[in-house]
Amino acid sequence: MMKLVGPWLSGFTRRAGITMKLLDIPFEHLNLNAYVNKEEVRRYSPMGKVPALVLGNGESLIDSAGIIEVLHEMAGPEKALMPPSGAPRLKALQLLGIGLNIYPKLTALYDESLRPKSHQLQSVFEGLAEQAIIGLKLPEAQTKDGWLVDNKLSQADIMAVVCYQASAGFVLPDHVNAKNFPRLAALCERAMKIDAFASTVPHL
């Protein structure tokens, strides 16, 4: 059976896990944190990055973009969680690109918070937070009553939910919440009715 290495607290790991669950691809989840379980993670991912997908033959693959491509290929074009072509595909790629660039800002905010107070720069925190918030406002403006693109659940929704929940839950709760981002909050409520999302909620 395939193994997915990384904790749900890692948004990139969570997006791979949500995808596997939505596509009914069986896997063993190795809940190893890149910061805490460094040596164990390196057994599967020499650079210590998560997520890593360990395939049935023991080979491993890092980076969620490639992992998702492999998973979509396994599931086949009918089930792939991306529109196949044209304007819907472009829209999904635009929104996904935003999500994939919000999340590293959240990770950087976390990394900054690990520094001793005397070595933290308020301007760095503010700059990272500003970029993440600008990013989140983009899907917020495009969210309607259903899923983001043609009301069909796609990678754009997965990454929007992952980014919103991490921001609202523990990285930027004063700025990112249901009051300031009501449509993204509602999108998350819809997602949380689905086991793939509800069973992968990150915990600090």
Ligand X SMILES: N[C@@H](CCC(=O)N[C@@H](CS)C(=O)NCC(=O)O)C(=O)O
Total binding residues toward ligand X, as defined by CB under 6 A: 12
Question: How far is 89 from 108, CA to CA, in rounded Å?
Answer: 29
Among the listed residues 101, 107, 131, 180, the single contact to ligand X using CB under 6 A:
107
Helix (H) or strand (E) holding 5: strand 2-5
For tokens 């949380």, what's the residue?
A: 192
Among the listed residues 8, 12, 44, 164, the single contact to ligand X using CB under 6 A:
12
Among the listed residues 4, 19, 49, 135, the single contact to ligand X using CB under 6 A:
49
Instruction: List, in sequence order, every residue forming a beta bridge with 2; answer none if it has no partner.
Output: 27
Binders of ligand X among residues 19 to 48 (CB under 6 A) are 34, 48
Binders of ligand X among residues 121 to 140 (CB under 6 A) are none
Token pair recorded at residue 175? 């700025």
> Is position 10 an interface residue for ligand X (rule: CB under 6 A)?
yes
Q: Does residue 15 contact residue 102 with C-beta atoms inside 8 Å?
A: no
Question: How far is 91 from 137, CA to CA, in rounded Å?
Answer: 16
C-beta closer to ligand X: residue 8 or 183 = 8
Binding site for ligand X (CB under 6 A): 10-12, 34, 48-51, 63-65, 107
